Amino acid sequence: MESSFAELYPDVAAAGSLAVALGQVAADLGLDLGELQSADPMVLLEWVVVPSAAPDGRPLWIRTAPVERVFNVDGRSVDGRRLRGGTPDLDEVARAASAWRNGASLAEIQLVAAFVNGA
Domain ranges of the chain: 5-118
Reported as a single tens digit per residue, the pLDDT across 59-77 is 899 999 988 999 999 987 6
Distance from the Cα of residue 94 to its chain's centroid: 6
pLDDT band at residue 56 using 50, 70 and 90 as cut-offs: confident
Q: Which residues contact 18 (CB under 8 A, 6 or more apart)?
A: 9, 12, 38, 44, 45, 46, 47, 48, 62, 63, 64
Report pLDDT for 92.
96
- Tell me the torsion sign for CA atoms 117, 106, 8, 44: negative
Report pLDDT for 31.
97
pLDDT band at residue 86 using 50, 70 and 90 as cut-offs: very high
Give the SS3 label for residue 78. Answer: coil
pTM, whole model, 2 decimals?
0.89
Give the SS3 label for residue 118. Answer: strand
- Mean predicted confidence (pLDDT) in 39-51: 73
Cα 31 to Cα 82, 92, 104, distances in angstroms: 23, 12, 14
